[in-house]
Structure 1
Amino acid sequence: MTVVRSLLLFALAALAEIGGAWLIWQGWRENRGLWWIAAGVVALGVYGFAATFQPDPDFGRILAAYGGVFVAGSLAWGMIVDGFRPGLWDFVGAGICLVGVAVIMYAPRGL
């Protein structure tokens, strides 16, 4: 159950951070206004708190692992929301990042 909780928290963090950054981008770069930017700031705040609920006590480990989730999540967001079409090497790179997440977060400790 701990791994499932951790994965759900990573998904929430990715949605909040990537979504928040996207909202700010839309508000500023696409001239959608301050409400979009404000919503983005709130979403980024949610991201900041999401990591604190991870079961692992080490901030550095969680943020390092989240980096891999962010890479893969950003590509997925681009595909779903913006119609981005990643190439083979984008998928390979994201896969490598997710393997890194698994090793950092879920490999046995004490080796």
Structure 2
Amino acid sequence: MRTFALFIATALAEIVGCYLPYLWLKQGRSAWLLVPAAASLALFAWLLTLHETAAGRVYAAYGGVYIGVALLWLWIVDGIRPTAWDVAGVAVALTGMGLIMFQPR
């Protein structure tokens, strides 16, 4: 459970770090958004180092969780409800994440 929670925190840090520059570039918001964006991306990189397994495996498994968190962001922040295809894709991605992270060692 700790691994999954850490992946969620990592995904949120990455999404915020990318979303804030998007607001500046595409929606004309303040360039000051780049300051918390940079901090969020630094947090993202640091959170990735907290995992106890090989980095490549962590990055591969993290991708599955990132997809799920990104679709939640789409729904909650952007107000766009994910389709059944989106949900199916998340299920496949999370299954892959589980296979990668929780394999017998």
Q: TM-score, normalised by structure 1?
A: 0.89
Question: Which residue is 2:82 aligned to?
Answer: 86
Shift of 1:22: 0.9
- Whole-angstrom distance in 2 between the partners of 1:45 and 1:70: 17
Q: Is residue 28–residue 37 contact of structure 1 (8 Å, CA) maintained in 2?
A: no
Shift of 1:39: 1.2
Question: Which residue is 2:8 aligned to?
Answer: 11
Q: Flag structure 2 segments of 5+ consecutive residues without an equivalent.
A: none
Question: Which residue is 1:34 aligned to?
Answer: 31
Aligned CA RMSD, in angstroms, stands at: 1.0
- Whole-angstrom distance in 2 between the partners of 1:27 and 1:42: 16
Q: Is residue 8–residue 66 contact of structure 2 (8 Å, CA) maintained in 1?
A: no
Q: 2:59 pairs with 43, 63, 67, which one?
A: 63
Residue deviations 1:15-49 (CA, integer Å, cap 9, x gap): 10011111111122111111112211210111011
Identity of aligned residues (%): 37
Aligned length: 105
- Whole-angstrom distance in 2 between the partners of 1:104 and 1:84: 30
Q: Is residue 6–residue 55 contact of structure 1 (8 Å, CA) maintained in 2?
A: no
Question: Which residue is 2:19 aligned to?
Answer: 22
Say yes or no: does 1:54 pair with 2:51: yes
- Whole-angstrom distance in 2 between the partners of 1:37 and 1:105: 33
* Structure 1 runs of 4+ with >2 Å offset: none
Question: Which residue is 2:73 aligned to?
Answer: 77
